[in-house]
Each structure stands twice: as C-alpha cells, then as structure tokens.
A and B are shown apart, each in its own frame.
Chain A
Amino acid sequence: MSSQYDLQILQEIEDPTIRPKLIMGESTTYASLDNDVIGIIEGFTQKTSIVWYLMIGATLSVLTMLGGIVAYLIATGVGIWGNQSPVFWGWPIVNFVFWVGIAHAGTLISAILFLLKQDWRTSINRFAEAMTIFAVCCAGLFPGIHVGRMWVVYWLFPIPNQMEMWPNFRSPLLWDVFAVGTYATISLLFWYMGLIPDLATIRDRATTKLRQGLYAVFSMGWTGSSRHWHRYEKAYLILAGLATPLVLSVHTVVSFDFAVAQLPGWHTTIFPPYFVAGAIFSGFAMVNTLIIPIRSIFKLQHIVTLRHLEVMNKVILATGSMVGYAYAMEFFIAWYSGNPYERFVFENRAFGNYAWAYWTMVSCNVIFPQLFWIKKIRRSVPAMLCVCILVNVGMWFERFVITVSSLSRDFLPGSWNYFKPTVFDYLTFLGSFGLFFTLFLLFVRFLPMIAISEVKGILYKQNHTGH
C-alpha cells in the first residue's frame, strides 16, 4: 500500500535539512491537480466503474434491507429489538452515539484546524466533511426509529400540534434534537460552500452537455471573481468560527442525555469533555480507515501524504490518551465519592457481567493507540489501518458499556436483567453501514474528494515561500 511518495517522505522526514512538502510531486501544477482529482470523476467510464457498480450494488442491497427492517419495525414496534426492561436504551442509542461521534472529525478538521491555520487540513477536509454528513445521516436515523411511533416524531419539534402541547425545553433529549439538527445543517452548508468553486471547475472542464448543465446549477454560476472570493473567504471564516463551538457543543449535549439522568455510571460531570475527546478520537480513526484505501485506489498519495496520516495518528494518540484518562478518572471518582451505588456500577463494569465488553473497549481505545508512540508503527500504513479499525470497534463498545452496563444494573436489584440483542439489532446496525457507504460511494463518484481550490492555494504558498 505504500507508494513512491510514501517512501520519499519517510526519507525527507528524517532529514532535518529538508522541510517536507504538504503537496508532493515535482510536476504537480494547478492543472495536474485538476486532472488528479476531477479526472477521477471524468474517467469513470472504464475499469473503475465496474468495481464501483459492484460495490454500490452491495451497499444498496444492504440499504434496501435496512428499509425493510424499518418498515417491519414501524408495523410491529420496537419489541423486535432486544430493548427490554430495564435496558430500554439498547443498541439504537449506542449506534446513535457511535455515529454522531464519528461525525465530529469533519467539522473539527475544517473549522478548528482552519482557525488554527493548519494548512495540512486542506488535503483531507473535503473528505472528512463528507464523512461527517453521512455519519450524521446514520446517527439521525436511530433516534428517529427508536421513538417507536415514527408518525408522530414531529412532536419533537416546536410546532403547534393538535393537542396544543409544546415540547419540554428543559429535557436534554430535546436539546439533542436542536444540537444534532443544527450540526447537520451547518455541516451541510459548510461542505456545500466549500464545494462551490470546485463544482465550477468541474463545470468548466466538462465535455458533455449534461455534466456541464448539472454542475453549472450546483456551482450557481461561480466565476472566481475576486470580489466574490473576498466575501466567500469572510463567510468561510465566520462559518469556521461558528462551527468551532458548535462541534464542541454537540457531543456535550449528547453526553447530557446521560449525565443529566440520575443513573449511577451516567450521572457525572466528566461526561461532556470525555465525550468530546472520544468523538474526535473515533472520527479521526474513521477518516484514516476510509482515506487509506481511497488514496491508494485513486492514486492521491501525493496530495494525501504519509505526513497527513501521521499527523492524524498523533491526534488519535492524544485523544485516545484523554479517553484513557477519563476511564481512569471515572473509577477514581466512583471510589472517592464514597457513594456505594456509584462504586458498585464501576466494579460491575470491570468485573461483572459485561467485563468482556469493558476490556474490549479498554484494549481497543487505550492500549492499542499507545502503539502510536512508536514512529515505525505511526508511519506504517498497514499498521495504522489496523489500529484505526480497532479504535472504531472500541468506540462502539464504549457506548455499549456506558449505555447497557449502567442500565442493566440500576438501583433496584429486582429489575436487573442481562441485555440480549436480537438479530434485528445486528441487521439495523449493519444497515446503517449500508446507508453510510452508499452515500460515500456516490460522493466518490460525483464530487471532488479533495478541496482543489484550497489545495491550489497551498501549492502556490508552498512554491512561493522558499521551501
């Protein structure tokens, strides 16, 4: 999986006299960037398309299965899942938090790293933002179908209804509706705005009337006018400024769903920062998991270089350590509080019924990412792919442990129960991957995976600041 560029950069990083470039390749020009990125979309008539059709065929069948399950669910009720007293928040909520968490990487990369002037973000931001939006779609699905009576799901929104009732604005679950809704909207707008100049490039390179017409509509007649760029850049800065606190608020609010409840194991003030760190952790791992195969399939190793991947791995290492610290802190606080229920929950987590899930989580989230301290592993593509996939697994288990292990052993021993997922739990979760990858494949097929106009700016900067 390593390419000539990867080998080259490995040497450059070790040589202190060279400042490694963000965009590699001696012959990389504005035009060659267009060819490399838009060429993927334009050249889709030959060999690649067969693979693509096979893949989207597979993901579409999974998506169709999800549609069938949702129909069955609506007709029958949430009883088809394993949700049972006292674990009424089973896999659907676990999956919801899992996907929302993943959705944090995109906006973090595009907004926070933008404000911090991290130029390396331009090679991966488009990709990460797309992933964000698709992950939010998957996340939004679960609370929607989890409410049981989907046809009255509009009761969640503050619109006058036939009972003349209003939602309870002091419920964290309602805050969640607003936070996730705002996040989805703003991410989509941010993403679309970034796409406008690149869509115009596709329009201007188009050789068929259909492609030209379609991309013309979506690029809204962008001419690259400097007067437009002036407002565009200002708007981008403002959106980045707005999205930064937003991205932090979203997982904070998601954590309130748990933390505001009195259940031992949920009712802790550490949840907001701990959830946000976990979200960045899982999101970055997902970006790496997806971009590693994509960059080698579509030959983008000179734009998304090994250096980019390494920086991502460092972020994974940092956030993974924060998550590990939070796990330890939860135990400390449970002991220090002297609260017998709190202590019991944590003892039970590590050594009780769900110990297998707990230790899966700890090894995937805390132990394996620590391997990234070792340079060799951090810079080896196959090794990092393994670690990132493990992190994704671990983060799913984290949400499972928090949700299920706390609920299944609540205050009343009489109602304790062991949660058992049904086949529909598995299939619904699998189905959400069908949705995710269908959207993802469409993105790869029809939209530029790299923010070309931004990368051009970086290329210009790189060639003119005496590197």
Chain B
Amino acid sequence: MDNNQNDLPHLGLLAEYETPEALLSASEKVRDGGYKRWDTHTPFPVHGIDEAMGIKPTILPWIVLGAGATGTCTALLLQWWSNAVAYPFLISGKPLFSWIPAFPITFELTVLFAGVTTLFAMLGLNRLPQLHHPLFEVKRFARATQDRFFLAIDSADPLFNDSSARALLEGTGASAIEEVPNMGASKTPPMWLLQIAVVLAFASFVPLGVIYSAWENTTDKPAWHFVWDMDFQESYRTGEKVPLFADGMAMRPEIPGTVATGELHQNTEYYAGKTADGSLIGTAPVAVDAALLARGQQRFAIYCTPCHGDSGYGDGIVQRRAQKLISIGGANGWVSPTNITTDAIGGQTDGQIFNSITEGVRTMPAYGSQIPVGDRWAIVLYVRALQRAANATIDDVPAANRGGL
C-alpha cells in the first residue's frame, strides 16, 4: 500500500455486469489493457474466468503434498517411537514395529494433516479472514454474493488513471460503474477487540500450564476419588476374615472325601507310569495297535520333533539353529537334545520314558501338563518304534520287500 493512500480521492473503480459472459469479455479487455491490481467478484465460480483474467495456477497442491508427507512421517515416527522405543509393546512375540499394522493410522494422519492444511492454506493464500474490505462500502457490491458479477480495478495499480480506466470499463457494457470510496483509517477494528483477543490468547495457555505443573510435581496428599465404588470394589481376599461362613475364612476348603471331576487317578501305572510303591513300570499299560502308533507318530511330530528331529536323532530345527549360533559364538551353555535311538535310551523301561515326558529330564522341560496321558503313552510307543527302526537289520525287512533296497 502506498503511504499517501489516505489522500486518494477513491480506491478504485467497480463495474457491475448482469451475466457471466459480459464479465468474461470485460475481463479479457482489462487483462489486455495490462492492469495488474484488479479482480472480479462473482456469486459462483465462473467457468473460464481464470484464462480471461490470466490467473496462474495456485501452489496450494504443493503445500498440501508437503503437509500430507509430514502426516505420514509423523504417524510412522509416532508409532515406531512410542511402541518400539519409549514403551515397547511385546505382543505374542511379534516384532515391535512392522509396516502393515502401522498402515491404518499412517493413512488417517496423512489425510488429517493434508485436509486441515488444505482449508487453512486456502484461507491463508486468500488472505482470509479479512472482515473488512473497501468494496463492502459500495452498497451494490452486496449482490456480488447473490446475482451480479463485478469487476474492480484498484487505483494503486501503476497503470491506473481515472479517466482511461473509466473509459475502458464503459466500453465493456457494464450495467453500472461506481467509485470505491476511501474511508481512510476509520475502519480499523476497535482497540478493545484487540485487547480482548490478546487476553484470551494468553488465557488459553493457563489450562496447559496447570496440567504441565501437575505432571511435573509430586504430592503427598491423598488422591481424589471421583467415583468411590469404582475405585474401591468390595471383594474378599484370600486369608481375610469374613462373616459369611462359620469358620470365618474367605477361601473354601476342599470338602473331605471328595475328588474333583476327572481327578481320581487311582491307576498309578497308567497315570504316572509307576507302581503303587513308586518304582517305574516296565511295559506300557495300554493295548498296542496301529491306530495308537499312528497317533503317537502324529503327536511326536508336534511335541518332540522341534528338538529331537523327525527320527529322534536329536537334530531338530531348534538344535540346528543352536549349532548355527554356536558357530558364530552364541548360544552359550547349550545342552543338545539327546539322540533317543541309542542303546542307552533303548534300554530304558517304558515307564522311564513316560516319566521323562511327564516330568522332564534335567534341561528338558516337562510335558505332562500339555499332553494328555493317553497321548503320552502313544508317544512312548512311537519312540520304541523309532529305536527299532534306527537299529534295524536286514532281517527286519520282510523277505518280499528286500528286492527294493
């Protein structure tokens, strides 16, 4: 703005048109007249006005692109940093950060950043909000948002000359031409409005400050309980004295002489592989048939092969991985799974192998709680089969099949 703007007789000329077509042809003339500071005002976007006025494409899309990219990075950093670094969330042994579950939030934040920026960048580039505009002083300009089409040339344009600009506009078939009055500085917003705005701006930081100080400081006063029965839910703890029962105990004892459903394991040979006096039994107390052996093979594949390998040689995937780690100096103190087809294990009784599975052996963990008892016996039988297969001689192969070897 010029320094002497307040002295100008008026701020420019405003021409009114009845139709978009009239405005378009007028715009072309003003554009060709070489004016720079001028604009048109219409109630709806007029098709073709950009070319007619020579408006250059806006940089808005690039701003939005930048904002979107910021959103993407923010989301990825936030998820990676908070869940993998600041507060590692270990869920089912999955990696702390991976791309696929990060996708939804990354997408949402990209759109959020880009969308919010679109509106505010559009307003900013348009220098809005600007509640006062000189054109608002012209009464007829109210129709610019209703049903008329306007063209305004600013008197600050270097080419502007009152009579020539007027002559140009008159030649465009304008239905009216008016001067935009110069109201001087009288139209600036009142001082008190500014003061209130400043006070409000400062006041808006108060809640944040209070929260921050609460966060930074510790207190020894008791906490507030907004909702009593949610913070203190009545329940009896183990060992607490309660008025409900005659013995005053919260925990109820087992009723003498009763056994929980399915817990009566009187047959120790079957359930523990031991005789009543505690010595390990010799042969499995189950009827052996092909189905049971097949079951044993299948269960062995699930529970034992990871360590002992498919054939029981002690070369399962866990062992192979451990050997690899050892070769690069890792897996200290590793105990290899036993080759269970050797004579040493082959010489053990069924009861002993059953017991190894049920209770574990030295570094081998116990599987009694995971494998039902029937399946444990099936596995024992299958281990026997493996031992037999590993130490087989030609005599074990039926005569009819020997030709294929």
Contacts and interface: CB of A to CB of B under 8 A. Distances in A.
Interface of A: 29-31, 34, 74-77, 148-149, 151, 158, 160, 162, 164-170, 172, 174-175, 178-179, 181-182, 185-186, 189-190, 192-193, 197, 200-201, 203-205, 216-217, 220-235, 238-239, 242-243, 245-246, 249, 253, 256, 453-454, 456-457, 460
A179 B20 CA distance: 42
B41 A224 contact: yes
A336 to B, nearest CB: 26
B interface, size bucket: 35 or more
Contacts of B79: 169
B133 interface: yes
Residue from A205, A223, A246 whose CB has the most chain B CB atoms within 10 Å:
A223
A249 B108 contact: yes
B404 interface: no
A329 B151 CA distance: 61
Contacts of A221: 128-133
A226 B128 contact: no
Contacts of A233: 45
Contact of A224 (B20, B43, B125, B229): B43
18 contacts: A30-B147, A151-B226, A166-B87, A169-B79, A169-B102, A170-B91, A185-B112, A200-B145, A203-B145, A204-B144, A221-B132, A225-B41, A225-B126, A227-B126, A238-B61, A238-B118, A242-B111, A454-B44
Contacts of A149: 227, 230
B143 interface: yes
B143 A175 contact: no
Interface string B36-62: 000111111110011001010110110
Contact of B115 (A204, A232, A239, A454): A239
A230 B146 contact: no
B114 to A, nearest CB: 6
B390 interface: no
A383 to B, nearest CB: 35
Contacts of B50: 226, 230
B151 to A, nearest CB: 9
Given A189-B119, A222-B145, A460-B44, A234 B89 contact: no
Contacts, number: 207
Contact of A178 (B104, B119, B146, B215): B104
B146 A220 contact: no
Interface string B79-112: 1001100110101000000000110110111011
A389 to B, nearest CB: 33
A179 B147 contact: no
Contact of A30 (B43, B111, B229): B43
Nearest to A186: B115
Given A175-B104, A182-B112, A232 B45 contact: yes
B60 A234 contact: yes
A307 to B, nearest CB: 22
A204 B133 CA distance: 13
Contacts of B41: 223-226
Given A74-B227, A220-B130, A226-B49, A234 B83 contact: no
B159 interface: no
Contacts of A30: 43, 146-147
A167 B81 CA distance: 12
A182 B108 contact: yes
A77 B40 CA distance: 60
Given A231-B58, A234-B61, A226 B115 contact: no
A164 B85 CA distance: 12
A226 B60 contact: no
Contacts of B156: none
